[in-house]
Structure formats: C-alpha cells, structure tokens
Structure 1
Amino acid sequence: MTGDISTEEDQTDLQTRRARGEFVRGVSGFRRAIGDPETPAEPGRYHLFVALNCPWCHRVTLARSVLGLEQAITLDIAFPNRTGEDDPEGPNLWEFAPDRIASLTGAPLPECTAETGTGAGLRLAKEVYRREGSEEQSVPILYDKRAQRIVNNESAEIIRMLDAHADALGSTVCADARVVLWPQDPARQVEIRELNDLIYTTINNGAYKAGFSSDQEVYATAFAAYFDSLDRLDQLLSDGRAFLTGDAFTEADLRLFPTLYRHDPVYMLRMKLNGARILDYPHLWRWLCRVYGLPGVAEAGSLRHCRQGYFGRSWNGVVPLGPLKPMPYPEAYGHPELAEG
C-alpha cells in the first residue's frame, strides 16, 4: 500500500476517557496486505466478512462494487443486530444467521448469509478470530481462503489494497473505465489525505463520538465539529465540482458516503445529530445523489439493515419507520432536485 492512511484514534488515557463518557474506537490488530509474498493478489482467493449496517464495512463493500470485484472476492453478511444477553457466547457479537427474524420486517433479511469463508460454517465473527488466538470480534474482516487466515481488519487499509490490486484480483471493469480511489498524482494524494483526516475525525468517527458518548460536553464538541465539517464540505462543492477533489470519484468520496447515506434516515435520531439534514445542504445533497447513482453503489449498502441494526439495539428495540417526507429513503437519493438552492 502506498501513502499514509490515517485510520486510528489516539489511544492516550484510554480508560480515563471512556470512564468519563467519551466513545474511543479501538485499534485493529490484523494488518497484513494483499501484494505481500504470503498474500499475493489472485482472483478468487479472498473473502470478506461484513455487516451492511456497519459504516466501516460499507466502505469495503463500496470498494468491492465500484472496482468490479464482486465476482473475484466472495462475501458473507452478518445479521445487523448482534447477539443478546441470552446467547451462550455472550452479547454484542456479530452473528451469521440468515434465518434470524428482523423486527422491522417480521421476516429474515434476504441479504444475510451463513458463514462460508472458512469452510467451517462458523456462527460468529468472533470464532473467525478465535481460530487465530485473537479476542477481537469486529467486522470487516478480509480473509485468505487458501491460507485459512485473516489478512486485515482495518477498513481504510482494505479499500486501499483492493484499489491497488484490482486488476490482479480479477476486476470485471476494464482499467480505463474503472475508478481510481488513490491516484498516483502526489498533489491529489495530499488533497485526499487532508480530506480523509477531516472526514474520519469529525464525521465518520465524529458521528459515533456524538451518538455513543455519555458526557454532555464531549457530545456537544462532537456535534459542533460534525456540522462545521458539513458546512465546510458543502462550501467545497459549491464551485460546481462533481466530487470532493474535482471531476473524479476518489477514496475521499468513498469514505464520506457511508456516514452521509445514514444521516437523514438514521443518524439524525440515533446519533443525536439533529442539527440539520443532508437535504438542507444543497451541494452535499446533490453530491450524495450523484455518488448513489454510480454503478454498484446502491447495491453495496442497505438502509433496511442500518435501521434494524442501529435502532434494534436501542432500549426497546423498536425501529422507526420514517422519514417519509419529502419522500422515503433511499428513494430520495435518486432525486437531487429535492435540495433547495
């Protein structure tokens, strides 16, 4: 992988910060790379374990789709709600349970799968880690089916390596027509890196800082930073550019999309980010619709999984049905004209 990837939160005074109510994201422990001698870039060799409600997984499913790797990299999808207190392995674990009933629909979610990547039919993502002596339990997981081991579980690194090795991995999109998430131009890389830092700190992770912190001051700081960044990005797009760095879709756009895709229908309520809708930012809204319309993007995520996953874990498990105005989501993402200005 080339270039710096800012992916991790400062772990200084971790216990103290968590004790006073701050949400602090942990560090991913598996950091091998496709392209290393023991993990060559080969079609059909790699597998992803994901949950469609997870925004970090959404980065990876987006990269897989826009890079034309759906046939080359297999995929298992966990149920959006984790295990409960009555599970023999404990609560809050990602589970591959295609028959589990969603409270939102009263039926199984058709996207959910059994575990197929290891060949062992495991039930929990935690069991994939346990086979390697790890106590981690997060998704996404990039898995080497041939070597039977985890390659990487840091989403920012996974999308960078899929981009770098798309041809060798078996992309079905010819190189001339395929997006380049991390272009070779050094000036463009600097621009993307600066945007990535802003987006990760104040928006991607900032949403969780606001929604999952139990300290009012920490929440207020995250809330302000989140909406300040939305203002800044809306202004950036006001010059008529199609994407964040110009006319081409890049890694910066891909990393912003999962959070903004969730904002109006989920995060405004669940993450207490009720300062404004993305629909209230005309340039960001039109950008959001533009990205949603790219080939493969709509299929790479699921607001049904997001609603079930975020609200199904709330205190009473009831999933809100809206918003319905000006029209339901995600249908609204097909209508850039809904934004005023």
Structure 2
Amino acid sequence: MTKDVSTEEDQTDAKGRRARGEFVRGVSGFRHVIGDAGFPAESGRYHLFVALNCPWCHRVTLARAVLGLEDSISVDVAFPNRTDEADPAGPNLWEFAPDRVATLTGTALPECTFETGTGAGLRLAKEIYQREGSEEQSVPILYDKFAGRIVNNESAEIIRMLDSYADQLGSTLSDRPQLVPANPDQMALVDDLNEQIYVTINNGAYKAGFSSDQTVYAQAYDAYFETLSYLNDLLSDGRPYLIGQAFTEADLRLFPTLYRHDPVYYVRMKLNGARILDHPHLWRWLCRVYALPGVAKAGSLIHCRQGYFGRSWNGVVPSGPLLPMPYPEAYGHPELA
C-alpha cells in the first residue's frame, strides 16, 4: 500500500495562523497500516467509526461501499451534531446516541448507532482514543476489533488500505473499481488531481467557510471555483470519470464535497458563486457517481444538513433547496444540467 500525504496541511505556525482567523486542519496521530505486524488483512476483523455529515468519513464509507466491503467491515455512526456545553464531558465531541432527536426531522436518525466496535459500549469517540492514552477525538477511526486497537484515523490512508486489501478483507465484488491504478501514468494523473482537489476543494471549502479572515476566505473562494471550472472543462470531452473510463480514488475524493455543495456548502460555507448544477459536465459526473452501487446509501444529506447548520449560531436548518427539485433526488436526474 502506498502512503498518501496530500491530505496533510502544512502545520507551519498553525497556532498563529488560527489566531489570525485562518482555518488550519490538524494532523492525524494514528498511522498504522493493515498488513503491518499485528494488523493482518482479515475479513470481519475491522470496524469503522464515522459521522455521515463529515466528508472525510464519507470518503471511507464510499470506499467501503464501492469495494464491496459492507458485509465484512462493520460500522458505527455518530449523531451529526456534537455535544454542547451542557454535556458532562464537554462540548464539541462526537457522540454515539441513536436516541438523540434531530431538529431537522423531529425524530431520531435511523442510521445512528450505539458504539459496538470496542465491546465496551462507549458513548464518545474521544473515549476510544482515551483507551490508548490519546486526546484526539476525530472521526473516521479504523479499529481492529480483535486486537482492541486503533489502526488509523487518516481517511486517505484508510481508503488505500481498503483498496489494497479488498480481497483479503472480504470483498463481495469480483468486478470492482481499482481506486489506485496499477498503471503509473494513470496513477500520476490521480496523484495530481488528488493534490489539487484536496487543497482547493476538500479543504478549500473549510478554508472558505470556517476562516474568519476576509482575505483567507476570498483566496479559498476563488481557488474553489477555479478548480470547479477546470474539472468541468476536463469532463467536457465526454469522459465518464476524471482520468478517463475508470472510476478512481480522485473521483471518490471529489464526490463528498460536490455532493454537499448545492444543498449545504453554497450557503453554509459561503460558496455561493455557482451551484454544481451550473457546471453541466460536473453535474452529470456527480449524478453518474451517485448512481454507482452502494454510493447513495454511503452518505446522508439529512445528516449533512443537520450537522452543518445545526452547529451554526442559531441551530436552524434551512428547508431548501427545493428547485429544480429536492436533493438528493436531484442527483438521479443528470438532464437537469
């Protein structure tokens, strides 16, 4: 398995940059690899802790789906809003609380689960880390149920593990995509796209939405829409996926952000320059990926809307968009663009 570092943001003067209003993503601390001593590639051994509103988790649930690993890698889903100041453990913590009621629906969310991976019935993702002496609290987490240890919490590396060891991990699909191409020329294209997509789209959306400095926001905003235009032009030659005929890791990593753009990021991340629907080739690509087996069930816009808007200043979740039709139903209609 090749290690991918394109999801690690430069940490130079991270504290000072945050103080000046820039959103700076931290670095994941657990970087073990399936296939290392102590972490063999075995079906039924591994477990994922995720939140469906988190795009980094969405990458991992997508990989689990398209690689046919849904039966062999179990998963627990956190509630999309983290704890608040009233929680005895403190605020901003991922919680496994299937009975918690979403303000958007007025009901519990059926995808949410108790914590089952450790066997200890823990309430918080932070408690999984604390068992290993860590103060981290992020998801996704790839967990070894047999060893009772965290394997990795860097989404890009988890994706590559699942791709590299899909057969040994129990894939049910004989005809599945190869996310990391064996052809070095194709892999070079994927690596280049991964870098651009991470910096300007995946992380760029957060730079725009969560930085409090106007200049940082404007730079992120401009780079985001420049890349959308570039990708739309790239797909204008009729290719079905970003590097050609094959669905690869670059497509998988782009999808979670674009899936969120029209119904969430357009407003919540202040990325209101255009919709994906206004980029016809990208829209048709988005619909094409959404139609792949397992993709629709690997994410949830209800979780996304609840999670992003539910942590805004007043917690109110917008009702739309409703035109040209509600989302995600719109993703079944490539002809809308």
TM-score by length of 2: 0.99
Query: Structure 2 counterpart of 1:192, which letter?
Result: V
In 2, distance between residues paired with 1:154 and 1:138? 10
Q: Residue 198 of structure 1 is aligned with which of 196, 199, 207?
A: 196
In 2, distance between residues paired with 1:265 and 1:283? 18
Give the CA deviation at 1:268. Answer: 0.3
- Equivalent positions of 1:64-83 (< 5 A) are 64-83=64-83
SS at match of 1:143: strand
The gaps in structure 2 that reach 5 residues or longer are none
Give the CA deviation at 1:5. Answer: 3.7
Q: For residue 279 of structure 2, what is the aligned residue in structure 1?
A: 281
In 2, distance between residues paired with 1:280 and 1:2? 36
In 2, distance between residues paired with 1:290 and 1:84? 38
The one-character-per-residue Cα deviations of 1:234-268 (angstroms, maximum 9, x if unpaired) are 00000000000001100000000000000000000
1:236 and 2:234 matched? yes
In 1, distance between residues paired with 2:14 and 2:112? 34
Query: Structure 2 counterpart of 1:235, which letter?
Result: D
Query: Could you tell me whether the CA contact under 8 Å between 2:47 and 2:145 is conserved in 1?
Result: yes
Q: For residue 272 of structure 1, what is the aligned residue in structure 2?
A: 270
In 2, distance between residues paired with 1:4 and 1:263? 25
SS at match of 1:102: coil
Query: Structure 2 counterpart of 1:261, which letter?
Result: Y
Q: Residue 298 of structure 1 is aligned with which of 281, 296, 299?
A: 296
The gaps in structure 1 that reach 5 residues or longer are none
- Equivalent positions of 1:122-271 (< 5 A) are 122-174=122-174, 177-271=175-269
Query: Could you tell me whether the CA contact under 8 Å between 2:301 and 2:328 is conserved in 1?
Result: yes
> 4+ residue runs of structure 1 moved beyond 6 angstroms?
none
The number of residues matched between the two structures is 337
The one-character-per-residue Cα deviations of 1:185-228 (angstroms, maximum 9, x if unpaired) are 11011000000000000000000000000000000000000000
In 2, distance between residues paired with 1:18 and 1:319? 27
The one-character-per-residue Cα deviations of 1:158-186 (angstroms, maximum 9, x if unpaired) are 00000000000000001xx1111001111
Query: Structure 1 counterpart of 2:161, which letter?
Result: M
SS at match of 1:195: helix
Query: Could you tell me whether the CA contact under 8 Å between 2:321 and 2:327 is conserved in 1?
Result: yes
In 2, distance between residues paired with 1:289 and 1:251? 17
- Equivalent positions of 1:306-325 (< 5 A) are 306-325=304-323
In 1, distance between residues paired with 2:8 and 2:65? 25
In 2, distance between residues paired with 1:161 and 1:234? 30
In 2, distance between residues paired with 1:201 and 1:4? 14
SS at match of 2:156: helix
Q: For residue 334 of structure 2, what is the aligned residue in structure 1?
A: 336
SS at match of 1:101: coil
Query: Could you tell me whether the CA contact under 8 Å between 1:5 and 1:193 is conserved in 2?
Result: no
1:32 and 2:21 matched? no
In 1, distance between residues paired with 2:3 and 2:108? 42
SS at match of 1:49: strand
Query: Could you tell me whether the CA contact under 8 Å between 1:41 and 1:168 is conserved in 2?
Result: yes
In the superposition, relative to structure 1, how do residues 179 and 13 fare at CA in structure 2: closer, same or farther (>3 Å)? Answer: same
In 1, distance between residues paired with 2:5 and 2:213? 29
Identity between Structure 1 and Structure 2 (%): 78
In the superposition, relative to structure 1, how do residues 87 and 276 fare at CA in structure 2: closer, same or farther (>3 Å)? Answer: same
Give the CA deviation at 1:109. Answer: 0.2
